Amino acid sequence: MSTSWKINSPWGWILVAAAIGVMLRALHLWSMVSEDPLLLAPVMDARSYHDWAVDILSDPVGKEVFFQSPAYPYIVALIYAVTGVSWINVALVQAMAAGVGILLVGSIGRRADPAGGPWVGVVAAWILALYKPMIYYDALLLKAEFTILTSLILLDFTLRALEAPRRRAALAWMLAAGFTAALVGLFRGNFYLAVPLLLGWIPARWLMRRGDPNPDWQQATLKTPILLMAAFALGFAALIGLVGARNHAVSGQWVFSNANSGAVLYLGNNPYSPLGEYTHLPFVRPNPLYEALDFQAEASRRSGTPLTDAEASTFWRKEAVRFSLDEPLTTARRLLHKSARVVESYELGDNYGLRFHERASPYLALPLPGWPLVIALAIASLLTLRGRWRDHMPVLILALTYAATLLIFFVRSRYRVPMAPFLIIMASSYLIVFIRQWRSDRRGRLVAGALVALIALAASFVLGLPRERQGNMAWWNASLAVLHFEHGNIERGKALTAVALAEDDSNPSMLVNLGRVHLGAGDLPAAERLCRRAVELEPARPEQRDCLAMTLAELGRAQEAREVLASAFTFGGPPHRYILAAFLEEMNGDPAAAADRLRLFLKTYGDDPQIHAHLARLLRSTDPQAAALHLDRALELAPAEADSLKAIAGP
């Protein structure tokens, strides 16, 4: 074995960092499972990944165009196929994948900053090994770890191609880099915006080849960058073309990745959320299972013509751009707000909360490196690049373009975490420069960078402090309560509900979620109390009225339920609202009016499998032929939900 792997060598320290990183992730996973396994249970996006992976096991190709990015569900399906269907197994694999990522960061750090020496890689490896947000995300059924791993592989291949002494080797590495660029985009499409810049850097580096530390680049002809660009493009096109061919085969649409980019852009740029925060749109059910259908239905309704998935994505992209151009002051304020969210210290969760999980995991409670330190040092590093920026350029391209996409779309902790490894490399480079200048007594040069780092660090904490103080423990306790209700642990669910309400009883969305699970558990008085409180707090939101109307209907107070629900129709119309209204009409002894209500949805919004199934139920005694047609259409639209749709339609 090479002596370079001794413990006192750079590679030895990187190897130890990888081992420590894997161990910390495994211990955190164990502590969470020991405290309450449902803390890690797949919900919302994680649940959709789980369900999609299970479907892939029986049907690897699928039958619909990809709406969400497909790479992670296929990875989860592969893990399930090998180890069994368990999200704990996925978390264990992600912990081991983190070890590979730490080794890669160590290798990349050395090559991205050769002037800083191999210890840049050592520092980067240790920061990533101890980086608190990644310890947290690696235990969850979310794509953060594999997104980071594939993006690091892309960076590694790109650097190897630019360093290779022989053209044949450089072309092979660049071909692999192009293929990996397509793959990382299939985890998170934000990275596709970096592809043109990575391609553009190849000829730019050739034009600035004089003084390049690589003698092969100094002597290269124009043919070299042209071939390298062609190799990258070929690798990229190979995978993207395969995905496009698959989507065309199952749907007749040429979609080369997935068809939700327009919808996601609209989520971050719409009149319902002037600051660009993620918000539930009134026409979209807040569940990944229905997002594609609801976005497509609303786009078809607004445009006045049925739209395909790709056409709906284009529609929402244009709507987002139109809104941004029509409201320039709002757009400017929104960009400033998102910039603050990128920099702030608070790890803004959605379906899971790092601060909440800290209560159950002693390893998350440790004073480990987090976002504020990393982003502050990365910003300071921009002042110290000087003659080293050429080697850093691929790192800068990936970091800065990804940051730009957050301003275009919207910011959550799990959306900004893919930037972390690139910022960690930059931060490590700055630390090595700082140490060297300190030792050489050239401390005057440290002032500017250190001052910038301190200002950035302070800004991160100041911007995040309001959210840190506010916390959101009530929401997370309520979310955990919902999970316990869904798993049949009613008493535990009620106890957590009491805890959540004691912390905060003024969050309408939280109250609605709790009201629905109490309704499902048959605790109608509690459900009415929770849903009525939600309506009092936010009377204009139809979701609150839906909740109360459903509860009143179960209590047999149909007329009161109809009055509560009536105003909800002025704010939009997702399918469940029409189904509820039809149910109330049926309770009122008017099944024909109930059927008309459901037909109105189909006319206004387009096809929905649940609407067709309920129509089949209503019509099975009066018009069996029409009922059969509606059931057939429901099964055609959602074959994976065949059992539940048949249960709705009845015998």
pLDDT band, very low/low/confident/very high, at 571 (cuts 50, 70, 90): very low
Q: What percent of the chain has pLDDT over 70?
A: 89
DSSP class of residue 144 equals H
Q: What is the mean pLDDT of residues 67-71?
A: 89
How far, in Å, are 76, 94, 99 from residue 57 at the CA level?
A: 10, 20, 27
Residue that finishes a domain, picked among 541, 572, 603:
572
C-alpha 284 chain-centroid distance: 17
| Domain identity same for 226 and 124 | yes
Give the pLDDT confidence score for residue 3 in this predicted structure.
43
| Whole-number Å distance between alpha carbons of 300 and 298 | 5
For 303-351, how does the pLDDT look when each residue is reduced to its tens digit (9 = 90+)?
888 888 888 999 999 999 999 999 899 999 999 999 998 998 888 877 7
Among candidate residues 493, 501, 499, 541, the one with its CA nearest the CA of residue 517: 493
Q: What are phi and psi of 339, to 5 degrees?
A: -60, -40
Lowest mean pLDDT among 147-151, 199-203, 295-299, 605-609: 605-609
Angle at 83 (CA atoms; ends 77, 89), nearest 5 degrees = 85
| Domain identity same for 510 and 378 | no
| Domain identity same for 323 and 423 | no
| Domain identity same for 453 and 377 | yes
Place of tokens 């970096």: 194
pTM for this entry: 0.84
Whether 335 is covered by a domain: the verdict is no
Lowest mean pLDDT among 160-164, 269-273, 374-378, 575-579: 575-579
Whether 338 is covered by a domain: the verdict is no
Question: What number of other Cβ atoms are within 10 A of residue 403's Cβ?
Answer: 18
Place of tokens 């976002």: 371
| Domain identity same for 563 and 585 | no
Q: What is the mean pLDDT of residues 79-102?
A: 94
Give the pLDDT confidence score for residue 627 in this predicted structure.
81
How far, in Å, are 46, 331, 615 from residue 633 at the CA level?
A: 29, 42, 11
Q: What are phi and psi of 263, to 5 degrees?
A: -65, -40
Residue 251 clears pLDDT 70, i.e. is over it: yes
Residues 6 or more apart in contact with residue 251 via CB below 8 angstroms? 64, 65, 308, 309
For 260-283, how does the pLDDT look when each residue is reduced to its tens digit (9 = 90+)?
888 889 988 989 888 888 887 878
Q: Which domain holds residue 500?
A: 472-572
Residue 97 clears pLDDT 90, i.e. is over it: yes
| Whole-number Å distance between alpha carbons of 145 and 147 | 5
Whether 334 is covered by a domain: the verdict is no
Lowest mean pLDDT among 83-87, 185-189, 301-305, 384-388: 384-388
N-to-C CA span, the chain:
71
Give the pLDDT confidence score for residue 1 in this predicted structure.
37
Question: Could you write out the DSSP letters of every residue in 339-355?
Answer: HHHHH-SS---SSS-HH
| Domain identity same for 23 and 87 | yes
| Domain identity same for 567 and 610 | no
Max CA separation in the chain (angstroms): 92
pLDDT band, very low/low/confident/very high, at 517 (cuts 50, 70, 90): confident
Which is higher by pLDDT, 646 or 137? 137
Give the pLDDT confidence score for residue 2 in this predicted structure.
45
| Domain identity same for 515 and 628 | no
| Domain identity same for 493 and 437 | no
| Domain identity same for 533 and 630 | no
How far, in Å, are 345, 354, 424, 470, 567 from residue 466 at the CA level?
A: 10, 16, 26, 6, 35
Length of the chain: 651
Whether 336 is covered by a domain: the verdict is no
CATH code of 605's domain: 1.25.40
| Domain identity same for 192 and 70 | yes
Whether 35 is covered by a domain: the verdict is yes
How far, in Å, are 213, 371, 376, 444, 449 from residue 455 at the CA level?
A: 34, 14, 8, 18, 10
Residue 185 clears pLDDT 90, i.e. is over it: yes
How far, in Å, are 515, 516, 543, 557, 565 from residue 539 at the CA level?
A: 16, 17, 9, 20, 11
> Based on the number of CB atoms within 10 Å of its own CB, is 243 exposed (0-12), middle (13-18) or buried (19 or more)?
buried
Lowest mean pLDDT among 136-150, 456-470, 521-535: 456-470
CATH code of 534's domain: 1.25.40.10
Whether 456 is covered by a domain: the verdict is yes
Among candidate residues 423, 413, 411, the one with its CA nearest the CA of residue 374: 423
Residue that finishes a domain, picked among 451, 469, 487:
469
Q: What is the mean pLDDT of residues 153-165?
A: 89
Q: Which two tokens stand for residue 106?
A: 């160590």
Q: Say whether 383 sits in a helix, a strand or coil.
A: coil
For 195-207, how does the pLDDT look when each residue is reduced to its tens digit (9 = 90+)?
999 999 999 888 8
| Whole-number Å distance between alpha carbons of 431 and 321 | 41
Most confident option among 298-307, 313-322, 530-539, 630-639: 313-322
Lowest mean pLDDT among 31-35, 130-134, 308-312, 389-393: 389-393
Whether 337 is covered by a domain: the verdict is no
- Looking at the structure of the chain, the number of domains it has is 4
Rg (CA), the chain: 27
Residue that finishes a domain, picked among 329, 351, 370:
329
| Domain identity same for 273 and 242 | no
Which is higher by pLDDT, 616 or 202? 202
Whether 612 is covered by a domain: the verdict is yes
Residue 4 clears pLDDT 90, i.e. is over it: no
> Based on the number of CB atoms within 10 Å of its own CB, is 43 exposed (0-12), middle (13-18) or buried (19 or more)?
buried
Residue 174 clears pLDDT 90, i.e. is over it: yes
Give the pLDDT confidence score for residue 506 in this predicted structure.
84
Give the pLDDT confidence score for residue 550 in this predicted structure.
79
Give the pLDDT confidence score for residue 460 in this predicted structure.
86
Give the pLDDT confidence score for residue 245 in this predicted structure.
92
